[in-house]
Amino acid sequence: MTDLAEFCWPLRVYYEDTDAGGVVYHSNYLNFMERARTEWLRSLGFEQHLLRQELGLVFAVSSLQIQFIRPARFDDALQVGSRLAQTGRASLVFAQEVRRDAEVLCRAEVRVASLDVNKFKPVAIPQAILQAIR
């Protein structure tokens, strides 16, 4: 997935991220991907707490498909690659990978919906965000 449109976020695996088998617990990969998407948005100049506060908008995962390929372990230095694969009126689809160096450990396709914070109904993604990602 590595290309010019990819946002890459580095992270370190902590003991708290691992399970009794000494590998990253499966749901923590979703946490890593969530953080990478948040940092991607921040890199474009958009803070999620301000989107909520000023526009009444939140992004929420509406669907995902994930494939676990190899385990990550305590103290591994990882990178989470995030690439915008599709843009809709009220949703974004990300292709994401967790890698150790060039080795892909986990990949996912994650759809996030743009929602009204009070009604939790889909709302259009603000034009400023759409312009920044095009």
Sign of CA dihedral 97, 35, 62, 27: positive
Which listed residue (19, 75, 101, 116) is catalytic? 19
> Considering the chain, what percentage of its residues have pLDDT values greater than 70?
97
Q: Could you tell me where the DSSP H helices lie in 48-105?
A: 48-55
Report yes or no on 32 lying in a domain. yes
Q: Is residue 11 part of a domain?
A: yes
Q: What is the pTM of this model?
A: 0.92
Residue 35: pLDDT band with limits 50, 70, 90: very high
Query: In this structure, is residue 2 part of a structural domain?
Result: no
Q: Is residue 26 part of a domain?
A: yes
What mean pLDDT is predicted for residues 103-121?
Answer: 98
What pLDDT is stored for residue 134 in this prediction? 80
CATH at residue 21: 3.10.129.10
94 in Cβ contact with 85 (< 8 Å): yes
Which residue range is the domain that position 104 belongs to? 7-133
Tens of pLDDT along 61-93? 999 999 999 999 999 999 999 999 999 999 999
When pLDDT is cut at 50, 70 and 90, the band that residue 3 belongs to is very low
- Respond yes or no: is residue 19 known to be catalytic: yes
Tally of structural domains, the chain: 1
pLDDT at 4: 43
